Structure 1
Amino acid sequence: MRHLDIATAKPYSVIGLGTWQFGSREWGYGTDYAEGEAGRIVKRARELGITVFDTAEVYGFGRSERILGEALRDSGGTNDVVVASKVFPVMPTAAIVQQRGVASAQRLGVRQIDLYQVHQPNPVVGDSTTMRGMRALRDVGVIDEVGVSNYPLQRWQRAEGALGGARVLSNQVQFSLVSRGPMAEMLPWAQRTGHVVMAWSPLAQGLLSGRYNADHRPSGGVRATNAMFLPENMRAASPLLDLLRDVASVHDATPAQVALAWLVHFPNVVAIPGASSVAQVERNAAAADIVLSDSEHGALTAAAEAFHPTTGLSALPGLVRARR
């Protein structure tokens, strides 16, 4: 497993583990997954060198934090892993941020949260008060590093200014072959300044796994409302998916592994895919060892840029038809 070349108290693996699925009903994995498979996934992830484990208080309304915390304790504790969580951004004033940070640490069963993030920018509450709460949590040792999530670059920079001289280490944003927004300005700035871009939905909820096509699409869970899986979008994605398969065959890998390798080809990026099984977390971890050539990486980027899905309001008629 490779790690970021950034000065942090603990090493950040370039492939992490996202745990939204732990205890969250919207994924439809059931209680057996939460009570058994989740623990096995965490244990195997650690064995494979994954050090970054990401959760949030909103995932399963705290259940994900509890499940992750228990799994980490059962598999060796938290001294050698990065435990990351997020504050639910409803009225994130200083006092509420402090209260929620302490509550998350208690659910996780840790003395210190290694990376505590603001889950969304709040349109009403400014970052000056939110970061005052973060600073207080850091000063008393409840958290180590501060991060944000889904922040545009300029607001990320302003949030760091509001923290009073300390860094806001990371920004967790949607980033994948089909969501390349961070490449324009955010990622170059992070690389220049020693910050981290954490990529959520790095496989576009499975679109980049190569498992689906226009005639075989996901029918339930959160993917059922994802416009990317509309038949017209699946057909439009065919050239990109075919290229992923071609590159995967060269590296004796899967399309999903190549899509992850494309992401972590960039310095200062941590991809945090979820995992529905031990086998999947094994495949995710192995993606860190795939070294794409510059020509392969460039060809994948070009194929992704040629993909123009139907999204937003234009996708609503198709989503309604799919639901029917």
Structure 2
Amino acid sequence: MRYVDGLDTARKYSVIGLGTWQFGSREWGYGDAYASGESAAIVRRARELGITVFDTAELYGFGRSERILGEALASSGGTDDVVVATKILPVLPLAPVVQQRGIASAQRLGVRRIDLYQVHQPNPLVKDPTTMRGMRALHDVGLVDDVGVSNYSLERWQGAERAYGSRVLSNQVQFSLVHQDPLDGLVSWAQETGHVVLAWSPLAQGLLTGRYDASHRPSNALRQTAVWLPENLDAAKPLLDLLREVATGHDATPAQIALAWVVTHAGVVAIPGASSVAQVESNAAAAEIRLAEDEHAALTAAARAYRPRTGVPALPSLVRDKLPI
């Protein structure tokens, strides 16, 4: 495993972490057996492989994910050598609410201190100064070590940091070969200033695994978006073919190459989920893949050439896709 270089934090951040949205979240359809058994095995194996970043949120399963993760960490060695990261559901993130929710998350996780406490989404009505007052209070009493945000623009991230009065360590954003927007500002700023970008959905909900095409699409309801329309899967074919080609040269999988591309960028931690021990092993192995400069450039160019039809232009196709044949 590799770790983020030059990061001034109490604990080291592995470049591959573990996202735990699936832990306890009914919408993924993994069932109670996964929550009670496989999730603990995944966490245990992740630790053995050197993964230190474990990310959850109050929203995931409305607290179930935090409880499951906390129990899994406790049973596999405690939390003294890992980064426990969670997020507040920012429905009304006023300072007193932030303090209350932080205490509740710590109790569910079974920890005395949350290593990274994040604002899950920017609130359009509640401004960051009041939210960050709550975060500051949690930090000052020792309940929170580092503070982060999620899905923030660079400008709002910087504004939140000014409101907090010291470093807001991280910004968790969607970042992958097919969601490259963070490259235009967020990633470079993080690299220059000692911050971290946490990449959620680094495999684009499975698109970059190369398992799917227009004739074989995922059935999970969470994946019924425009990206999975047959014409968009056809548009992704050149990128997926290149991923397979590069993967062959490294004796790897397309998913591992997609993760390796993300963590090639300094200051970035990828936090893919894992449905099995085998998947967390595969994810962790991606940290050791070193892409050549020409491979990285070719993947970036292919990704920039991929232009799926989304938003309003995709609505007619989405409607047709849902209609019975």
Match for residue 315 of structure 2? 316
Query: What does the per-residue CA deviation read over 1:250-298, in whole Å, with 9 as the maximum and x for residues that have no partner?
Result: 0000000000000000000000000000000000000000000111000
Match for residue 307 of structure 1? 306
Q: Counterparts in 2 of 1:1-324, with a 5 A limit?
A: 1-5=1-5, 6-164=7-165, 166-223=166-223, 225-324=224-323
Question: In 2, Cα distance between the equivalents of 1:24 and 1:267?
Answer: 31
Question: In 2, Cα distance between the equivalents of 1:85 and 1:315?
Answer: 34
Equivalent residue letter for 2:202: P
Equivalent residue letter for 1:262: W
Query: Structure 1 residue 199: deviation in Å?
Result: 0.3
Query: Structure 1 residue 182: deviation in Å?
Result: 0.5
Paired residue secondary structure (2:169): strand
Question: In 1, Cα distance between the equivalents of 2:259 and 2:315?
Answer: 29
Question: In 2, Cα distance between the equivalents of 1:47 and 1:122?
Answer: 37
- Unaligned 5+ segments in structure 2 are none
Query: Structure 1 residue 26: deviation in Å?
Result: 1.0
Question: In 1, Cα distance between the equivalents of 2:230 and 2:249?
Answer: 28
Query: Structure 1 residue 7: deviation in Å?
Result: 1.3
Question: In 1, Cα distance between the equivalents of 2:221 and 2:110?
Answer: 29
Query: Structure 1 residue 121: deviation in Å?
Result: 0.3
Question: In 2, Cα distance between the equivalents of 1:313 and 1:209?
Answer: 27
TM, length-normalised to structure 1: 0.98
Paired residue secondary structure (2:171): strand
Paired residue secondary structure (1:315): helix
Query: What does the per-residue CA deviation read over 1:61-100, in whole Å, with 9 as the maximum and x for residues that have no partner?
Result: 0000000000000100000000000000011000000000
Question: In 1, Cα distance between the equivalents of 2:191 and 2:141?
Answer: 30
Question: In 2, Cα distance between the equivalents of 1:52 and 1:16?
Answer: 5
Query: Structure 1 residue 318: deviation in Å?
Result: 2.3
Query: Structure 1 residue 221: deviation in Å?
Result: 2.9
Paired residue secondary structure (1:102): helix
CA contact (8 A) 1:236 1:309 kept: yes
Equivalent residue letter for 2:2: R
Query: Structure 1 residue 157: deviation in Å?
Result: 0.1
Question: In 1, Cα distance between the equivalents of 2:193 and 2:278?
Answer: 36
Equivalent residue letter for 2:227: M
CA contact (8 A) 1:28 1:221 kept: no
Query: Structure 1 residue 317: deviation in Å?
Result: 2.4
Query: Structure 1 residue 227: deviation in Å?
Result: 1.4
Question: In 2, Cα distance between the equivalents of 1:94 and 1:253?
Answer: 47
Paired residue secondary structure (1:168): coil
Query: Structure 1 residue 35: deviation in Å?
Result: 0.9
Equivalent residue letter for 1:109: G
Question: In 2, Cα distance between the equivalents of 1:316 and 1:276?
Answer: 31
Question: In 2, Cα distance between the equivalents of 1:220 and 1:147?
Answer: 30
Query: Structure 1 residue 314: deviation in Å?
Result: 1.7
Query: Structure 1 residue 57: deviation in Å?
Result: 0.2
Question: In 2, Cα distance between the equivalents of 1:143 and 1:108?
Answer: 13
Query: What does the per-residue CA deviation read over 1:182-230, in whole Å, with 9 as the maximum and x for residues that have no partner?
Result: 001111111110100000000000000000001100122311x221111
Question: In 2, Cα distance between the equivalents of 1:26 and 1:181?
Answer: 27
Paired residue secondary structure (2:312): helix
Query: Structure 1 residue 320: deviation in Å?
Result: 2.6
Question: In 2, Cα distance between the equivalents of 1:128 and 1:182?
Answer: 24
Paired residue secondary structure (1:311): coil
TM, length-normalised to structure 2: 0.98
Question: In 2, Cα distance between the equivalents of 1:242 and 1:82?
Answer: 36
CA RMSD of aligned residues (A): 0.7
